[in-house]
Structure 1
Amino acid sequence: MAVFTEVSEDEARGLAQRLSLGEVLELRGIQGGIENTNYFLTTQQDGRRAEWVLTLFERLTAEQLPFYLHLMKHLAHRGIPVPDPVADQGGDILHTVCGKPAAVVDKLAGRSELAPIAAHCAAVGEMLARMHLAGRDFNRAQPNLRGLAWWNETVPVVLPFLQDAQASLLRSELAFQNHVAASSACAALPRGPVHADLFRDNVMFEDGALTGFFDFYFAGVDTWLFDVAVCLNDWCIDPPTGRHDEARARAFLQAYQRVRPLAAAERRLLPAMLRAGALRFWISRLWDFHLPREAALLQPHDPAHFERVLRERVHEPVAA
């Protein structure tokens, strides 16, 4: 995504050699995103070309990263179409490039569908449910690092940048989400590994078929309902207004529930969780917008988008 660390061709060749990927043909920085340094890496071995994604982690630590990488490998081995991290000869899937922790994964086929119709939303819903069930026996645990604790830490940092009406909304919604999180109903929600960032640009399609989920570096153990809410807030809204799109949401939820029906408690808490998903991304976009880091190709997202989504979710609750 954004390029914070410049990787030389010599560094890329050395990495490709260590991972037995063959000759490096091209190394190209990827524009978009704001968390990590990403490159497309093209190699050739025995006359065959292959494409990979090289990620250098700018915020996540070597202690945190095994959760994400092993989760992807776990899901890939259970038939979920996700990038599979490449191991070196010693079996390690976490590497070091330019002094930063790094990973190389296979590049998924296809492209992102940025103007989805109901059929795309249904495909995402079905695969998300399959992913949740496939992760039930994953043997590592790590909390959602952009969950409630992070919201409570970050809101005081971004409040000085806001107008009074925005600050009032942010404070009141954070108080509401702390109340929900402390409830017995929330504690009883089904949990497991979640993607937590499954936006339109993190899913690939080819010839109308879903070919994969990627960018798992916000994943963590959280309620599956939070993952559902994050998807509904991106795949099933009108972006200019933030308004709910009933047809796409119905397609998503019906497809999800054909694989994993929502529990009664999940249905009751969906309106609150939709607000939580909007709050999470409003906070992070405010943080990235007002407190940016220097990076080549960096393009912070507009925080006003998720302010609109949150206001819609507060004033027009959606039932499951």
Structure 2
Amino acid sequence: MAVFTEVSQDDARDLAAKLALGEVRELRGIQGGIENTNYFLTTSTGEFVLTLFERLSFEQLPFYLHLMKHLAAHAIPVPEPHATPGSATADNPDGRLLQTVCGKPAAVVGKLRGKSELAPTAVHCAAVGDMLARMHLAGRDYPHMQPNLRGLAWWNETVPVVLEHTTPEQSALLKGELALQNHVAASSAYAALPCGPIHADLFRDNVMFDDGELTGFFDFYFAGVDTWLFDIAVCLNDWCIDLATGRQDDARTQAFLRAYNAVRPLAAAERQLLPVMLRAGALRFWISRLWDLHLPREASMLKAHDPTHFERVLRQRVAQAYRTL
């Protein structure tokens, strides 16, 4: 959510008029994040978020935008993309969700109420586990297919690039964990894991709460079709750990898993592979943070995340057996 592309007031007015959103009152860049350009857009009809996509292409983006429309139609609280009025067709009942701003693909979505809970309790973790399970079930009949673009294939491509920026000890850990994940991905147990659209980046700052109520999941632009277990692991590695040490918080972990299981019980293969998938989730974000830190792009308001955080999480996951199943 850094600002890579500066959007002018005229650009914003043109877009608001095209989408029939009313008169522009305010356009404000959003700080944080590292992938896309984001602005809060306030008009005479409401509050919205304008996103310009800096890496995803016009061909890739319909998967994400139509997924959000699909989930909203299934009562999952997500920011709903706005379509060009009158653009719906029999083949595309959602209408034209993808726009062009400053020559780049863009979209406008509704702004969720509330704020992120950056110091979650077991109650917050249970709410996220419950809604994540509902989201997975709601996505079962989503008709579009796109792989997780930051999945195993990307790890295999990116690890050789970032190794030159690591110590010998870090390099050994990266290569060893990558070999393990390739081995697991070729196993029959992995092939038995349930799959579907996943968020793949559901950290604390991508969920909204308002007065204790979970009001929405957002930032779906890492989503893809992958194992639901990977989505669970990503959540557990952020919502249910101590940020200072990377250690698992048992009470929050149990609350999350109980709530998820109450909606969609984990399959036997998922229970078997959860420990190694927790390592996969930590590995994915360690790799991407190394990449973002050492191969950065220029942007206003850009601040790369610390890669050593997920190195700590990974080392904790390697060192400790999973104790809650």
TM-score of Structure 1 vs Structure 2, range by shorter chain: over 0.9
Indicate the larger mover: 310-319 or 68-77.
310-319
Q: Which residue of 2 aligns with 1:112?
A: 116
Q: Which residue of 2 aligns with 1:66?
A: 62
Moved over 6 A (4+): none
Matched, 1:143 2:147: yes
SS at match of 1:141: coil
Letter of the aligned partner of 1:88 in structure 2? Answer: T
Q: Which residue of 2 aligns with 1:40?
A: 40
Q: Distance in 2 between matches of 1:86 and 1:252?
A: 32
Q: Distance in 2 between matches of 1:100 and 1:187?
A: 37
Counterpart mapping for 1:172-251 below 5 A: 172-251=176-255
Equivalent pairs counted in the alignment come to 316
Q: Which residue of 2 aligns with 1:292?
A: 296
Counterpart mapping for 1:300-319 below 5 A: 300-319=304-323
Q: Distance in 1 between matches of 2:322 and 2:56?
A: 34
Q: Following TM superposition, by how much is the alpha carbon of 1:317 offset from its aligned partner in structure 2, in angstroms?
A: 2.4
Letter of the aligned partner of 1:121 in structure 2? Answer: C
Could you list the per-position Cα deviations for residues 100-155 of structure 1 after superposition, in whole angstroms to 9, with x for gaps in the alignment? 00000000000000000000000000000000000000000000000000000000
SS at match of 2:140: coil
Q: Distance in 2 between matches of 1:316 and 1:161?
A: 27
Could you list the per-position Cα deviations for residues 2-33 of structure 1 after superposition, in whole angstroms to 9, with x for gaps in the alignment? 00000000000000000000000000000000
Could you list the per-position Cα deviations for residues 207-234 of structure 1 after superposition, in whole angstroms to 9, with x for gaps in the alignment? 0010000000000000000000000000
Q: Distance in 2 between matches of 1:245 and 1:88?
A: 45
Letter of the aligned partner of 1:87 in structure 2? Answer: A
Q: Following TM superposition, by how much is the alpha carbon of 1:318 offset from its aligned partner in structure 2, in angstroms?
A: 1.1
Matched, 1:54 2:68: no
Q: Which residue of 2 aligns with 1:159?
A: 163
Q: Distance in 2 between matches of 1:184 and 1:149?
A: 19
Letter of the aligned partner of 1:309 in structure 2? Answer: V
Letter of the aligned partner of 1:21 in structure 2? Answer: L
Q: Distance in 2 between matches of 1:265 and 1:168?
A: 28
Q: Following TM superposition, by how much is the alpha carbon of 1:86 offset from its aligned partner in structure 2, in angstroms?
A: 0.1
Q: Distance in 2 between matches of 1:34 and 1:317?
A: 33
| Structure 2 unaligned regions, length at least 5 | 88-94
SS at match of 1:170: helix
Matched, 1:124 2:128: yes
| Structure 1 unaligned regions, length at least 5 | none
Counterpart mapping for 1:256-271 below 5 A: 256-271=260-275
Q: Distance in 1 between matches of 2:308 and 2:244?
A: 10
Q: Distance in 1 between matches of 2:136 and 2:96?
A: 25
Percent identity at matched positions? 76
Letter of the aligned partner of 1:41 in structure 2? Answer: L
Q: Which residue of 2 aligns with 1:88?
A: 84
Q: Distance in 1 between matches of 2:316 and 2:218?
A: 28
Q: Following TM superposition, by how much is the alpha carbon of 1:282 offset from its aligned partner in structure 2, in angstroms?
A: 0.2
SS at match of 2:141: coil
Matched, 1:169 2:178: no
Q: Distance in 2 between matches of 1:162 and 1:193?
A: 33
Could you list the per-position Cα deviations for residues 72-110 of structure 1 after superposition, in whole angstroms to 9, with x for gaps in the alignment? 000000000001000002220000000000000000000
Normalising by structure 2, we get a TM-score of 0.97
Letter of the aligned partner of 1:38 in structure 2? Answer: N
Q: Which residue of 2 aligns with 1:26?
A: 26
Letter of the aligned partner of 2:173 in structure 1? Answer: L
Q: Distance in 2 between matches of 1:234 and 1:135?
A: 23
CA RMSD of aligned residues (A): 0.5
